[in-house]
Amino acid sequence: MLPEHTLRRWEGQTPAPIFAALCLAGQLATGPRDEELAWFRRGTADAAAILHGEWWRCATALTLHADLAHAAGNALCGFILIDALARRLGPAWTAWLVLIAGIIGNLLTALVMRTQHFSIGASTAVFGALGALTGVQLLARTRSGFVTLGAGAALLAILGTSARSDLFAHLFGMFAGFLLGLVAGALQREAPEKKTRQPLLAIAALGPLAAAWWLALR
């Protein structure tokens, strides 16, 4: 395995600004959490509804926030983590990895909680990015991998376990991201060359989100 300082880094645009913009724009469009609104009634990660076939909620819930402070916090943390991850893997891997980790995190939470559990917010995907970055760094740093793993666990404890946080969603999002990060880090040993298809593939990750909302509101 190559030491971190020998790895080539992606120097082009990253999905981080798009992620942050989606967090803020989504909250401004829906307003504060209101279960009477179709956005929240049909898009919240309702564990029982997910287990009864409304799987799209695992994706739509990532785009909803309780209020502007909630959205801004996820936008800021997500921007930092996603930008760092993209510098290592490139925008395409990063965008899809973060989305999939967020969806898996919400699905696993539903499987564990079963009923009477409702959650919204991009933080599941944010912790997916944290887990992926931890996994990638674990592969890249031969001597300090466990330090990186410990740093990821510490950030989970600091950022993801407050009284209002969805601990299971954060934990499962980070776990999914970590496993995906190990796979991506092994397959993408260095950042890809700067090519147009990278940002295009990253933007394509918006497709599943759009499809999920179409299913939710149809």
When the pLDDT of each residue in the chain is averaged and rounded to a whole number, the result is 87
- Tell me the per-residue pLDDT of 66-123, one tens digit each, with 9 for 90 and over: 999 889 989 998 999 999 899 889 999 999 999 999 999 999 999 999 888 999 999 9
- Tell me the per-residue pLDDT of 53-67, one tens digit each, with 9 for 90 and over: 999 999 999 999 999
- Contacts for 25 with CB less than 8 Å, ≥ 6 apart: none
What pTM was estimated for this model as a whole? 0.89
Query: Nearest 10 degrees: CA dihedral of 44, 102, 109, 49?
Result: 30
- Domains of the chain, by residue range, sit at 15-217
Q: How far is CA 52 from the centre of its chain?
A: 24
Paired with 69 in beta bridges are none
Tokens of residue 213, six digits:
């909302």
Superfamily of domain 15-217: Rhomboid-like (1.20.1540.10)
